[in-house]
Amino acid sequence: MGAAAAEANRTLFVGNLDPKVTEELIFELFHQAGPVITVKIPKDRDGRPKQFAFVNFKHEESVPYGLRLLNGIKLYGRPMRIQFRSGSSHAAQDISPSCSQLGAPGSNPPGMPHPASNCSRVPDGMGAPGFPSSLQRQAVVRAHSRAQLLG
């Protein structure tokens, strides 16, 4: 496996970001899934941040966990849409057996949210293997609240 493929396997694409979202906020949030190496929010020609980011993890196993943990979490009122980076070998794998049939091609009407986007949401105290614990969700909420207070 080449270096580019290895990096793609350690990287998530994070879309639907509000312009107020910073690389620091994304770093703090995704650190809940594992050690983060870099976060990059590209800029347009005018220097404004684009509405997506790339998160590069130290360990490949953090990638599917980060997707399950944070996909759909709202930042500044907008749910993050997280995907495996193009070229990643993770893209061909099911990340959660309970979600494997959701979102099959043609199964959701155009314009409707992806049905798997809420797959990992369970009520507090109802944790299951592979799902974020109440403490992890609280950490994400605290980091988000801190960012809103500072920004």
CATH number, domain of 34, equals 3.30.70.330
In a domain, 64, yes or no: yes
Tell me the pLDDT tens digit for each residue of 95-142. 443 343 334 444 444 454 444 444 444 334 334 444 455 555 666 667
The dihedral sign for the CA sequence 64, 65, 66, 71: positive
| Residue 111 placed within a domain | no
Q: pLDDT (tens digit, 9 = 90+) per residue, 51-69?
A: 999 999 999 999 999 999 9
Q: What is the reported pTM?
A: 0.60
* 104 occurs within a structural domain: no
Q: Is residue 30 part of a domain?
A: yes
CA distance 35 to 42: 21
Going edge to edge, which strands form the sheet with 81-84? 36-40, 52-57, 11-15, 81-84
- Confirm whether 9 is domain-assigned: yes
Dihedral over Cα of 75, 78, 81, 86: its sign: negative
